[in-house]
Amino acid sequence: MIKKPFPLVVLFLMAFVLLRCNPLEEYVKLQGSALGTTYSVTYRTPSVASSDFSSLVSRITGQCLDKVNHSFSIYNNHSLISQLNDNLTSRTDSLFRIVFERSQDIAAHTDGAFDISAAPFFDYWGFGTEKRDSLKKGDLEEIKNFTGMDKFHMEGTQLFKKDPRCRLSMNAIAKGFACDLIALELTALGITDLLVEIGGEIVCKGLNPDRKPWRIGIDSPRDGNIYPGQSIEVVIKLTDQALATSGNYRNYYIENGKKYAHIIDPRTGTPVTHHLLSATVIADDCMSSDAYATAFMVMGLESSKSFLEKNPTLGAFLIYDDHGVFKTFTTNNIQTGL
Protein backbone atom coordinates (compact mmCIF):
# COMPACT_ATOMS: atom_id res chain seq x y z
CA MET A 1 0.00 0.00 0.00
CA ILE A 2 0.98 3.63 -0.45
CA LYS A 3 0.08 5.49 2.70
CA LYS A 4 -1.45 8.93 2.96
CA PRO A 5 -3.01 9.80 6.34
CA PHE A 6 -5.97 11.95 5.31
CA PRO A 7 -7.32 13.36 2.06
CA LEU A 8 -6.89 17.14 1.89
CA VAL A 9 -9.82 17.65 -0.47
CA VAL A 10 -13.54 17.00 -0.36
CA LEU A 11 -15.71 16.05 -3.30
CA PHE A 12 -19.00 17.91 -3.50
CA LEU A 13 -21.08 15.04 -4.90
CA MET A 14 -24.65 13.91 -4.46
CA ALA A 15 -25.09 11.79 -1.33
CA PHE A 16 -26.49 8.78 -3.16
CA VAL A 17 -24.81 6.24 -5.38
CA LEU A 18 -26.93 6.56 -8.50
CA LEU A 19 -28.30 9.75 -10.07
CA ARG A 20 -30.65 8.85 -12.87
CA CYS A 21 -30.60 11.58 -15.48
CA ASN A 22 -31.63 8.95 -17.99
CA PRO A 23 -32.12 5.23 -17.30
CA LEU A 24 -29.33 4.49 -19.79
CA GLU A 25 -26.99 7.27 -18.64
CA GLU A 26 -26.92 7.12 -14.86
CA TYR A 27 -24.08 8.35 -12.69
CA VAL A 28 -22.53 5.58 -10.62
CA LYS A 29 -20.18 5.92 -7.66
CA LEU A 30 -17.68 3.19 -6.82
CA GLN A 31 -15.67 3.50 -3.62
CA GLY A 32 -13.42 1.51 -1.33
CA SER A 33 -9.97 1.28 0.25
CA ALA A 34 -6.67 0.81 -1.56
CA LEU A 35 -3.06 2.02 -1.51
CA GLY A 36 -3.29 2.71 2.21
CA THR A 37 -6.11 5.23 1.76
CA THR A 38 -9.60 5.55 0.26
CA TYR A 39 -10.68 5.91 -3.34
CA SER A 40 -13.82 6.76 -5.27
CA VAL A 41 -14.76 6.66 -8.93
CA THR A 42 -17.86 8.53 -10.11
CA TYR A 43 -18.86 8.21 -13.77
CA ARG A 44 -21.76 8.55 -16.19
CA THR A 45 -22.66 5.25 -17.80
CA PRO A 46 -22.49 5.45 -21.62
CA SER A 47 -25.85 5.01 -23.33
CA VAL A 48 -24.54 2.01 -25.28
CA ALA A 49 -23.19 0.24 -22.19
CA SER A 50 -23.92 -3.43 -21.62
CA SER A 51 -25.87 -4.70 -18.60
CA ASP A 52 -22.66 -5.73 -16.81
CA PHE A 53 -20.89 -2.40 -17.42
CA SER A 54 -20.62 -1.48 -13.73
CA SER A 55 -18.95 -4.83 -13.00
CA LEU A 56 -16.49 -4.15 -15.81
CA VAL A 57 -15.64 -0.71 -14.40
CA SER A 58 -15.16 -2.18 -10.93
CA ARG A 59 -12.90 -4.92 -12.25
CA ILE A 60 -10.72 -2.58 -14.30
CA THR A 61 -10.42 -0.13 -11.40
CA GLY A 62 -9.32 -2.94 -9.10
CA GLN A 63 -6.79 -4.20 -11.63
CA CYS A 64 -5.26 -0.73 -11.96
CA LEU A 65 -4.97 -0.35 -8.19
CA ASP A 66 -3.39 -3.79 -7.88
CA LYS A 67 -0.82 -2.95 -10.55
CA VAL A 68 0.12 0.31 -8.84
CA ASN A 69 0.39 -1.41 -5.47
CA HIS A 70 2.58 -4.14 -6.96
CA SER A 71 4.93 -1.63 -8.58
CA PHE A 72 5.14 1.20 -6.05
CA SER A 73 4.24 0.16 -2.49
CA ILE A 74 7.19 0.46 -0.14
CA TYR A 75 5.04 -1.21 2.53
CA ASN A 76 4.76 -4.42 0.52
CA ASN A 77 7.95 -6.47 0.78
CA HIS A 78 7.11 -8.24 -2.49
CA SER A 79 6.47 -5.10 -4.55
CA LEU A 80 8.81 -4.14 -7.35
CA ILE A 81 10.07 -1.00 -5.63
CA SER A 82 10.80 -2.96 -2.42
CA GLN A 83 12.80 -5.51 -4.38
CA LEU A 84 14.73 -2.71 -6.08
CA ASN A 85 15.36 -1.02 -2.74
CA ASP A 86 16.55 -4.30 -1.21
CA ASN A 87 18.83 -5.01 -4.18
CA LEU A 88 16.96 -8.20 -5.05
CA THR A 89 16.44 -7.17 -8.66
CA SER A 90 17.36 -4.44 -11.12
CA ARG A 91 14.62 -5.19 -13.64
CA THR A 92 11.66 -2.80 -13.80
CA ASP A 93 8.18 -2.91 -15.33
CA SER A 94 6.54 -0.48 -17.74
CA LEU A 95 4.57 1.38 -15.06
CA PHE A 96 7.68 1.89 -12.95
CA ARG A 97 9.60 3.30 -15.91
CA ILE A 98 6.84 5.79 -16.73
CA VAL A 99 6.79 7.17 -13.19
CA PHE A 100 10.57 7.05 -12.75
CA GLU A 101 11.19 9.04 -15.94
CA ARG A 102 8.54 11.63 -15.02
CA SER A 103 10.08 11.88 -11.55
CA GLN A 104 13.48 12.54 -13.11
CA ASP A 105 11.99 15.34 -15.22
CA ILE A 106 10.23 17.02 -12.29
CA ALA A 107 13.26 16.65 -10.02
CA ALA A 108 15.34 18.51 -12.61
CA HIS A 109 12.59 21.07 -13.23
CA THR A 110 12.29 21.87 -9.50
CA ASP A 111 16.04 21.84 -8.79
CA GLY A 112 15.62 18.83 -6.53
CA ALA A 113 12.67 20.07 -4.48
CA PHE A 114 10.89 16.92 -5.65
CA ASP A 115 13.10 13.85 -5.37
CA ILE A 116 11.97 10.22 -5.10
CA SER A 117 15.47 9.21 -3.94
CA ALA A 118 14.90 10.94 -0.58
CA ALA A 119 13.44 7.77 1.01
CA PRO A 120 16.36 7.43 3.49
CA PHE A 121 15.59 10.89 4.85
CA PHE A 122 11.97 9.92 5.54
CA ASP A 123 13.18 6.83 7.38
CA TYR A 124 15.59 8.98 9.39
CA TRP A 125 12.86 11.36 10.56
CA GLY A 126 10.33 8.62 11.28
CA PHE A 127 8.05 9.02 8.25
CA GLY A 128 9.22 5.96 6.31
CA THR A 129 8.75 2.25 6.64
CA GLU A 130 10.68 1.88 9.89
CA LYS A 131 9.39 2.78 13.35
CA ARG A 132 10.74 5.99 14.82
CA ASP A 133 12.97 5.33 17.80
CA SER A 134 15.24 8.33 18.21
CA LEU A 135 16.73 11.00 15.98
CA LYS A 136 20.43 10.44 15.40
CA LYS A 137 21.65 13.75 14.06
CA GLY A 138 25.13 12.44 13.36
CA ASP A 139 23.83 10.17 10.60
CA LEU A 140 22.30 12.86 8.41
CA GLU A 141 25.46 13.87 6.55
CA GLU A 142 26.22 10.23 5.78
CA ILE A 143 22.73 9.71 4.34
CA LYS A 144 23.32 12.57 1.90
CA ASN A 145 26.02 10.43 0.28
CA PHE A 146 23.44 7.99 -1.06
CA THR A 147 20.50 10.24 -1.92
CA GLY A 148 19.92 12.25 -5.09
CA MET A 149 18.63 11.29 -8.53
CA ASP A 150 22.18 11.27 -9.87
CA LYS A 151 22.67 8.04 -7.89
CA PHE A 152 20.28 6.17 -10.23
CA HIS A 153 20.25 5.51 -13.96
CA MET A 154 18.08 3.43 -16.24
CA GLU A 155 19.49 1.23 -18.99
CA GLY A 156 16.73 -0.32 -21.03
CA THR A 157 14.46 -2.06 -18.53
CA GLN A 158 17.05 -2.15 -15.73
CA LEU A 159 17.62 0.36 -12.93
CA PHE A 160 21.13 0.71 -11.51
CA LYS A 161 22.35 2.40 -8.32
CA LYS A 162 25.70 3.95 -7.48
CA ASP A 163 25.34 2.76 -3.88
CA PRO A 164 23.36 -0.27 -2.60
CA ARG A 165 22.02 1.88 0.26
CA CYS A 166 20.11 4.06 -2.21
CA ARG A 167 16.35 3.71 -1.85
CA LEU A 168 13.32 5.13 -3.67
CA SER A 169 9.89 6.18 -2.48
CA MET A 170 7.23 7.17 -4.99
CA ASN A 171 4.55 7.93 -2.40
CA ALA A 172 4.40 11.58 -3.55
CA ILE A 173 3.60 10.69 -7.15
CA ALA A 174 2.20 7.14 -7.32
CA LYS A 175 -1.37 7.94 -6.23
CA GLY A 176 -1.54 10.67 -8.84
CA PHE A 177 -0.33 8.19 -11.44
CA ALA A 178 -2.95 5.68 -10.26
CA CYS A 179 -5.67 8.29 -10.88
CA ASP A 180 -4.30 8.87 -14.38
CA LEU A 181 -4.17 5.15 -15.11
CA ILE A 182 -7.74 4.49 -13.99
CA ALA A 183 -9.08 7.52 -15.88
CA LEU A 184 -7.25 6.40 -19.03
CA GLU A 185 -8.65 2.88 -18.84
CA LEU A 186 -12.20 4.05 -18.16
CA THR A 187 -12.09 6.66 -20.91
CA ALA A 188 -11.17 3.84 -23.29
CA LEU A 189 -14.51 2.21 -22.36
CA GLY A 190 -16.37 5.24 -23.71
CA ILE A 191 -16.90 7.09 -20.43
CA THR A 192 -16.82 10.85 -21.03
CA ASP A 193 -17.90 12.19 -17.62
CA LEU A 194 -15.96 10.91 -14.61
CA LEU A 195 -14.04 11.76 -11.50
CA VAL A 196 -11.34 9.53 -10.05
CA GLU A 197 -10.11 10.30 -6.52
CA ILE A 198 -7.48 8.46 -4.50
CA GLY A 199 -6.51 9.88 -1.12
CA GLY A 200 -7.33 13.41 -2.26
CA GLU A 201 -5.61 13.24 -5.66
CA ILE A 202 -8.11 13.77 -8.47
CA VAL A 203 -8.61 13.40 -12.21
CA CYS A 204 -11.89 14.59 -13.68
CA LYS A 205 -13.34 14.69 -17.15
CA GLY A 206 -16.56 16.13 -18.51
CA LEU A 207 -19.30 17.22 -16.11
CA ASN A 208 -20.74 16.24 -12.75
CA PRO A 209 -24.29 14.90 -12.14
CA ASP A 210 -25.63 18.49 -12.24
CA ARG A 211 -24.07 18.80 -15.72
CA LYS A 212 -21.65 21.40 -14.40
CA PRO A 213 -17.89 21.35 -13.76
CA TRP A 214 -16.85 19.14 -10.86
CA ARG A 215 -16.51 20.98 -7.52
CA ILE A 216 -13.57 20.17 -5.26
CA GLY A 217 -13.38 21.49 -1.70
CA ILE A 218 -9.92 22.23 -0.32
CA ASP A 219 -9.61 21.72 3.43
CA SER A 220 -8.44 24.51 5.69
CA PRO A 221 -4.99 23.68 7.17
CA ARG A 222 -6.02 24.47 10.72
CA ASP A 223 -4.73 22.49 13.66
CA GLY A 224 -7.39 20.02 14.72
CA ASN A 225 -9.01 19.87 11.28
CA ILE A 226 -8.49 16.14 11.00
CA TYR A 227 -11.71 15.24 9.19
CA PRO A 228 -12.03 16.02 5.46
CA GLY A 229 -14.85 18.48 4.87
CA GLN A 230 -14.93 19.72 8.46
CA SER A 231 -13.57 23.14 7.47
CA ILE A 232 -13.34 24.11 3.79
CA GLU A 233 -11.06 26.94 2.67
CA VAL A 234 -12.19 27.16 -0.97
CA VAL A 235 -14.10 25.26 -3.66
CA ILE A 236 -12.37 24.79 -7.01
CA LYS A 237 -14.30 24.10 -10.23
CA LEU A 238 -12.58 21.57 -12.44
CA THR A 239 -13.07 19.70 -15.68
CA ASP A 240 -10.70 17.78 -17.96
CA GLN A 241 -7.83 18.37 -15.55
CA ALA A 242 -6.15 16.89 -12.49
CA LEU A 243 -5.66 18.22 -8.96
CA ALA A 244 -3.53 17.24 -5.98
CA THR A 245 -2.99 18.81 -2.57
CA SER A 246 -0.06 18.51 -0.21
CA GLY A 247 0.04 19.87 3.34
CA ASN A 248 2.04 19.61 6.54
CA TYR A 249 -0.73 19.95 9.13
CA ARG A 250 -1.98 16.37 9.51
CA ASN A 251 1.07 14.13 9.33
CA TYR A 252 3.51 15.27 12.00
CA TYR A 253 4.72 14.50 15.50
CA ILE A 254 5.94 16.60 18.39
CA GLU A 255 9.08 15.57 20.26
CA ASN A 256 10.73 17.52 23.05
CA GLY A 257 8.39 20.40 22.31
CA LYS A 258 9.36 20.60 18.64
CA LYS A 259 7.06 19.82 15.70
CA TYR A 260 8.39 17.58 12.93
CA ALA A 261 6.23 17.55 9.77
CA HIS A 262 6.45 14.91 7.06
CA ILE A 263 7.46 17.38 4.33
CA ILE A 264 11.21 16.80 3.98
CA ASP A 265 13.49 18.97 1.87
CA PRO A 266 15.47 16.43 -0.23
CA ARG A 267 18.26 18.96 -0.69
CA THR A 268 18.99 19.28 3.02
CA GLY A 269 17.42 16.14 4.45
CA THR A 270 15.49 18.12 7.07
CA PRO A 271 11.77 18.90 7.61
CA VAL A 272 10.67 22.20 6.10
CA THR A 273 10.01 25.07 8.51
CA HIS A 274 8.52 27.82 6.33
CA HIS A 275 4.99 29.22 6.49
CA LEU A 276 3.39 27.53 3.47
CA LEU A 277 0.73 25.23 4.96
CA SER A 278 -1.01 23.75 1.93
CA ALA A 279 -0.34 23.59 -1.81
CA THR A 280 -2.97 22.57 -4.33
CA VAL A 281 -1.77 22.15 -7.91
CA ILE A 282 -3.83 21.76 -11.08
CA ALA A 283 -2.24 20.23 -14.16
CA ASP A 284 -3.16 18.18 -17.21
CA ASP A 285 -2.25 14.94 -15.44
CA CYS A 286 -2.45 13.93 -11.79
CA MET A 287 1.05 12.47 -11.67
CA SER A 288 2.40 15.97 -12.29
CA SER A 289 -0.09 17.64 -9.92
CA ASP A 290 0.93 15.25 -7.16
CA ALA A 291 4.66 15.81 -7.60
CA TYR A 292 4.49 19.59 -7.99
CA ALA A 293 2.27 19.95 -4.91
CA THR A 294 4.97 18.22 -2.89
CA ALA A 295 7.69 20.32 -4.53
CA PHE A 296 5.89 23.56 -3.65
CA MET A 297 5.61 22.50 0.00
CA VAL A 298 9.38 22.07 -0.05
CA MET A 299 10.07 25.30 -1.95
CA GLY A 300 7.89 27.55 0.18
CA LEU A 301 5.61 30.43 -0.78
CA GLU A 302 7.85 32.90 -2.60
CA SER A 303 9.80 30.31 -4.56
CA SER A 304 6.55 28.59 -5.54
CA LYS A 305 5.02 31.86 -6.75
CA SER A 306 8.15 32.57 -8.80
CA PHE A 307 8.04 29.06 -10.25
CA LEU A 308 4.37 29.46 -11.21
CA GLU A 309 5.09 32.73 -13.02
CA LYS A 310 7.59 30.87 -15.19
CA ASN A 311 5.27 27.90 -15.71
CA PRO A 312 1.81 29.32 -16.51
CA THR A 313 0.37 25.96 -17.60
CA LEU A 314 0.19 24.97 -13.92
CA GLY A 315 -2.57 26.28 -11.68
CA ALA A 316 -2.20 26.59 -7.92
CA PHE A 317 -4.01 27.53 -4.73
CA LEU A 318 -1.58 28.12 -1.84
CA ILE A 319 -2.49 28.64 1.82
CA TYR A 320 0.10 30.20 4.11
CA ASP A 321 0.49 31.59 7.59
CA ASP A 322 1.20 35.31 7.78
CA HIS A 323 1.98 36.00 11.45
CA GLY A 324 -0.92 33.88 12.68
CA VAL A 325 -3.37 34.88 9.94
CA PHE A 326 -4.25 32.49 7.12
CA LYS A 327 -3.79 34.00 3.68
CA THR A 328 -4.06 32.55 0.20
CA PHE A 329 -2.50 32.89 -3.23
CA THR A 330 -4.40 31.81 -6.34
CA THR A 331 -3.18 31.73 -9.92
CA ASN A 332 -5.52 33.37 -12.41
CA ASN A 333 -6.08 30.22 -14.45
CA ILE A 334 -8.32 28.35 -11.98
CA GLN A 335 -11.98 28.85 -11.08
CA THR A 336 -13.13 29.04 -7.48
CA GLY A 337 -16.50 29.44 -5.78
CA LEU A 338 -19.75 27.53 -5.64
Q: DSSP string covering 7-53, please?
A: -SEEE---SSSEE-SSTTS-EEEEEEEETTEEEEEEEEPPTT--TTH
For the domain that residue 136 is a member of, what is the CATH number?
A: 1.10.3980.10
152 found inside a domain? yes
- Count up the domains in the chain and report the number: 1
Residue 113 lies inside a defined structural domain of this protein: yes
Low-confidence ranges of the chain (pLDDT < 50): 1, 5-7, 13-24, 135, 225, 229
Q: CA–CA separation, 212 vs 103, rounded Å?
A: 33
- Would 30 be classed as within a structural domain? no
| Within a domain: 145 | yes
Does residue 101 form part of some domain? Answer: yes
Residue 5 has a pLDDT of: 46
In a domain, 84, yes or no: yes
90 located within any domain = yes
84: containing domain: 77-161
Task: Return all residues near 279 (Cβ < 8 A) that are at least 6 apart.
Answer: 245, 246, 247, 293, 294, 296, 297, 304, 316, 317, 318, 319
Q: Is residue 213 part of a domain?
A: no
Supply the pLDDT for residue 24.
Answer: 47
Summarised one tens digit per residue, pLDDT across range 155-192 is 999 999 999 999 999 999 999 999 999 999 999 999 99
Q: Which residues pair with 316 in a beta bridge?
A: 281
